[in-house]
Structure 1
């Protein structure tokens, strides 16, 4: 009984370590998004940190239009990055979970 419990605890600790390593790796995974006309481009990490932003000069003439572009493109990029992040972390967590009867 206690051997099983200790084994599960060890597996959980190992999984936690893999999750932390995956989070660090996701800082190096880049997600690109751009407006449909290519006037605004953004690159985020899979941990949703903005790495670069490219704005065409024509957008600088209209603050409202620039704001609209930023909102649309950033939201799409954040959604993509979140999907990558959640998929990667879920795979690591699922793979590392001990087989506990009644949990799944």
Structure 2
């Protein structure tokens, strides 16, 4: 087993993972309430980029709070799936297969 080669490969994979994380800052995920009154855009790294609230929601604080929780959670869930899929793809593509290590990426 070529330990130096493996270490180099590991470093290369880490660099690709970092590049992917940076790229995911530019991947936007949109989510909205079923009636379209609340819209949220977040990055695949789960940073909120924008929130749009229809005027009629401003009249009902409780409804607005409920919408915020629902829509943000749905957006975070979507973004997490995109994020994990992208990072898994990079890790699996570049990782040398070390016996027993394949369980780490499941």
State the TM bucket, normalised to the shorter chain: over 0.9
Q: 1:10 to 1:75 in 2, by over 3 A?
A: same
Normalized against structure 1, the TM-score is what? 0.95
Q: How does 1:1-104 map to 2 (within 5 A)?
A: 1=1, 4-104=2-102
SS of residue paired to 1:101:
coil
Q: How many residues align?
A: 102
Structure 1's unaligned 5+ residue stretches are none
Alpha-carbon separation, structure 2, partners of 1:84 and 1:102 = 26
Structure 2's unaligned 5+ residue stretches are none
CA RMSD of aligned residues (A): 0.9
Normalized against structure 2, the TM-score is what? 0.93
Give every structure 1 segment of 4 or more consecutive aligned residues whose post-TM-superposition deviation is greater than 2 Å. Answer: 101-104
